[in-house]
Homo-oligomer: A and B are copies of this chain.
């Protein structure tokens, strides 16, 4: 193992230079204006894997293409690992809060700053550099490896199941390694064993047939912003319990065993909230902060807009107002029923003359990972060897819909192991990835590949 790790240490600068090439491409999948940038990022990744000796190509979908790269020189008896990451990134707004331009990456204080620095370009390149080291030192890989990079992860993965189905044969691995999660802290790695799901919906309240002057119509004219705030103001009761009909149907209480395991992690709610300027857990009052985060569903208004938003004031009654919501789901909840319940919640509260229009986004149920498989044991050992401490088995409040898709479309279990930190500001201005995490992540990935290669293929 040592020559591979030494190679990684010696080549850190050129590894970072390759990451920076990818970070400079503004591959924002949610914004149609960046469609070509997304395709440029896909082509960059295809070419980078091809340069390592992989058979690499784009796999077209109704949306943005996947990147598929295979390296099977280890032979048919070797374990077959499917690595998953994504080459698209979140929108960068609000731009004025970035200290450096989001798509002009730079290193400050030992941290790589840029949109996608960690989510997920940094994690993908970290893995790619581990592969590069194995190939440079040994001329081959310890496993059969198939790489799949998605281009729509930050936009609800609308084409993912189509992509998996199209590539069913190529992707028929033993299990999936997903690098899109965090360490427990800067010195303790983590494997994520439970994930929340996601359902997205947008509601627009329509009122008058056009924008109105609030002096000439104010009073008798219905204001859609008033309706929208009134409806959304009912979303929670004073204990933080979500009021959508049927919302909690199927939600199981947190298992005692998991509660105990989490208690052992020493989670510090004051420190967690304090890092972002908060002091009180704002979710269901009856739950701990960690349960609110890992084990309980949420209703989140991610955006709201209507009427005049410029400087000064404008005495307008707008014709419409819109809110964008997402729900974090736990195992047992059905995304379709949650969205249906929200629609019913809104429609049952509309006054005369108000009309609601809905747009549904992607959805995925919550998921719990099987923690008793051989490759999970191998991964724990490899991570412990790199970090000198056993990995934490944690939950995550975030959604990685691909985990559910791999299970339902391909029948594959997933191992979630990534090297981000909670303060990486993903989806926010000034997203960063510690150079140390990138570097240790590459070393850890190299050890993971070796550990998987040492397994029986019947894992």
Q: A269-B220, A307-B324, A427-B211 are in contact. Are A91 and B301 (CB under 8 A)?
A: no
User: Do B213 and A398 have beta carbons less than 8 Å apart?
Assistant: yes
- Over the window 291-323 of chain A, the binary record of Cβ atoms lying under 8 Å from chain B Cβ atoms (1 yes, 0 no) is 011001010111111111111111111100111
Tell me if A104 counts as interface (CB < 8 A to partner B).
no
Closest B residue by C-beta to A297 = B219
Question: Could you tell me which residues of chain A, from 184 to 215, have a CB within 8 Å of some CB in chain B?
Answer: 196, 198, 200, 202, 207-215
**A456 proximal to B (CB < 8 A):** no
Instruction: Write the chain B residue with the least CB distance to A400.
Output: B215
A156 within 8 A of B: yes
Please encode chain A, from 373 to 394, with 1 for each CB lying within 8 Å of some chain B CB and 0 for all others.
Answer: 0000000000000000000000
Chain B residue at smallest Cβ distance from A226: B301
CB distance from A286 to the nearest CB of B (A): 12
Partner of A228 from the list B229, B281, B308 (CB cut-off 8 Å) is B229
Are the C-beta atoms of A30 and B310 separated by less than 8 Å? yes
Residue numbers in B under 8 Å from A308 (CB-CB): 91, 93, 302-303, 324
Of the listed stretches A126-134, A270-278, A338-346, chain B binds A270-278
Count of interface residues, chain A, beta-carbon cutoff 8 Å: 103
Is A455 among interface residues, defined by CB-CB distance under 8 A? no
Chain B minimum-CB-distance residue to A182:
B216
- Residue among A282, A309, A397 with most chain B CB within 10 A: A282
A387 to chain B: closest CB distance in Å? Answer: 21
Chain B residues within 8 Å of A208, by CB: 276-278
Q: Are B316 and A428 in contact, with the CB atoms below 8 A?
A: yes
B230-A236 in contact (CB<8A): yes
Question: For the complex, is A60 an interface residue (Cβ under 8 Å from B)?
Answer: no
Neighbouring B residues of A156 by C-beta, 8 Å: 312-313
Smallest CB–CB gap between A310 and chain B, Å? 6
Does A173 interact with chain B (Cβ within 8 Å)? no
Interface residue? A65 (CB, 8 A): no
**A95 CB–B CB distance under 8 Å:** no
Instruction: Report A134-157 CB contacts with B as 1/0, cut-off 8 Å.
Output: 000000000000000000001110
Chain A interface (Cβ within 8 Å of chain B)? 29-32, 90-91, 93-94, 97, 154-156, 182, 196, 198, 200, 202, 207-223, 225-226, 228-236, 269, 272-273, 276-284, 287, 289, 292-293, 296, 298, 300-318, 321-324, 326, 328, 351-353, 361, 396-399, 422, 425-430
Sample of 13 more A-B contacts, CB < 8 Å, known A302-B313, A303-B314? A30-B312, A91-B314, A94-B211, A156-B313, A213-B426, A220-B292, A223-B282, A282-B351, A302-B308, A304-B307, A308-B324, A315-B398, A315-B399
A-B contact pairs, 20 of them (CB 8 A): A91-B308, A202-B313, A207-B277, A210-B430, A211-B427, A212-B428, A214-B302, A215-B397, A219-B397, A220-B269, A220-B292, A221-B276, A232-B233, A280-B351, A282-B353, A302-B316, A304-B306, A304-B307, A305-B305, A315-B326
